[in-house]
Amino acid sequence: MEGILLECENNNLKLTGYDLDLGITKTIQVETVEPGAIVLNARLFSDILRKMPDEQITITSDQKLLTRIEGIDTEFNILGMSRDEYPDMPAVDDSQGFTAPDYLLKNMINQTLFAISVNDQTPVLTGSLFDLNSGKMSVVSVDGYRVALRKENIASDTDVSFVVPGKTLAEITKLLSDQEEAMTRVSVGSRHIIFEINGYTVISRLLEGEYLDYKSAIPEGHTTRIVADTRTVVQSIERTSIIINDRNKSPVKLVTEGSTINLTCESTIGKVSDRFEATVEGDPIRIAFNNKYMIDALKHTECDQIYIDINGPLSPIKIIPTEGDDFLFLVLPVRLKNEN
């Protein structure tokens, strides 16, 4: 967002940033001497405002777009751009929508956003799928190697499904409040979505295309269940990860031996073995995984204790809460050579 549109009339100043994918507007009370509009460089304008020591400033633009930003002892003169050159925001057909608590939206986005695809080959996977059905909302991210799924009850009759770009979600979590009573209105059109958050209006295009059928990837049941302390598992994987780098993406191998979980890794740098105690139910297991995907998932559980459910060495590793079903993370295993 290089330019910020300032529109002023009736003692209101409407600020708009818009880059064709994502637009944010906020209206503030000002004293209007003369109505008008100007586009200013966003970075320059915010630098100026941040460094101005004054409580009150005056902004004046002339017909040549020369804009004066004035405090008591400081005066900036910069050249603006015409509002005519600023793109129009799309109109949203507010056909469907719902209202949700800020803290819940923020949490659901934060716990899933990390797993979106960074690969542009399947654009729809660079966003998270929101699915609202019979008062239950799920937010899902999938990148082909892992799934992050977060579920909550939302008081709403609307049944709707849409995919929001990751960039939009990252901006939204900055605006969403942690206060328990704060609520955000979400209006869903066919091609765009509007979030009304704390006086800000965020309009974003939606991602089009068929979302990956993540449900069919979730294995039912398990042949092995590890009941583990999340921090212990993360630290153990982090230790085995020391000899992994961008050039050698060696997998971490997990082998159970009674109630001992052995993690090993071997790369061109060296070998490491680490072990910790956990409760192991069911069959003993040998399985390998990508260290980063596993740590990402475990850290985003925000839980002290988790179940790691496994259905054999070639089936996705499932991480779920020990109570309830608020979240589910899947990590695809890495197939080991010479593995039975």
Q: Catalog residues that contact a second copy under the rule CB under 8 A.
A: 41, 44, 47-48, 51-53, 73-79, 235, 238-239, 242-243, 269-276
Is the CB of 191 or the CB of 231 nearer to a second copy?
Answer: 231
Check if the beta carbon of residue 251 is closer than 8 Å to that of residue 265.
yes
User: To the nearest whole angstrom, how small is the minimum distance from the Cβ of residue 258 to a second copy?
Assistant: 15
Q: In degrees rounded to 5, what are phi and psi of residue 190?
A: -80, -30
Is the CB of 161 or the CB of 235 nearer to a second copy?
Answer: 235
What gap in Å lies between CA 39 and CA 7, rounded to an integer? Answer: 9
User: To the nearest whole angstrom, how small is the minimum distance from the Cβ of residue 265 to a second copy?
Assistant: 10
Position 18, amino acid = Y
Chain centroid offset of residue 184 CA:
17
H or E element at residue 25: strand 22-29
Is the CB of 37 or the CB of 269 nearer to a second copy?
Answer: 269
User: To the nearest whole angstrom, how small is the minimum distance from the Cβ of residue 271 to a second copy?
Assistant: 4
User: To the nearest whole angstrom, how small is the minimum distance from the Cβ of residue 91 to a second copy?
Assistant: 35
User: To the nearest whole angstrom, how small is the minimum distance from the Cβ of residue 238 to a second copy?
Assistant: 6
User: To the nearest whole angstrom, how small is the minimum distance from the Cβ of residue 94 to a second copy?
Assistant: 40
Check if the beta carbon of residue 300 is closer than 8 Å to that of residue 267.
no
User: To the nearest whole angstrom, how small is the minimum distance from the Cβ of residue 280 to a second copy?
Assistant: 16
Residue recorded with tokens 């941040």: 50
Is the CB of 251 or the CB of 313 nearer to a second copy?
Answer: 251
User: To the nearest whole angstrom, how small is the minimum distance from the Cβ of residue 70 to a second copy?
Assistant: 10
Check if the beta carbon of residue 333 is closer than 8 Å to that of residue 317.
yes
What gap in Å lies between CA 69 and CA 331, rounded to an integer? Answer: 53
Is the CB of 124 or the CB of 269 nearer to a second copy?
Answer: 269
Q: Give residue 18's region: left, alpha or beta (phi > 0; psi -120 to 50).
A: beta
Chain centroid offset of residue 260 CA:
35
Is the CB of 235 or the CB of 322 nearer to a second copy?
Answer: 235
What gap in Å lies between CA 74 and CA 40, rounded to an integer? Answer: 18
Residue recorded with tokens 């469907």: 96
Is the CB of 51 or the CB of 335 nearer to a second copy?
Answer: 51
What gap in Å lies between CA 271 and CA 282, rounded to an integer? Answer: 29
Is the CB of 191 or the CB of 271 nearer to a second copy?
Answer: 271
* Residue closest to 290 by CA, chosen among 249, 319, 329, 327: 249
* Residue closest to 115 by CA, chosen among 235, 289, 316, 294: 294
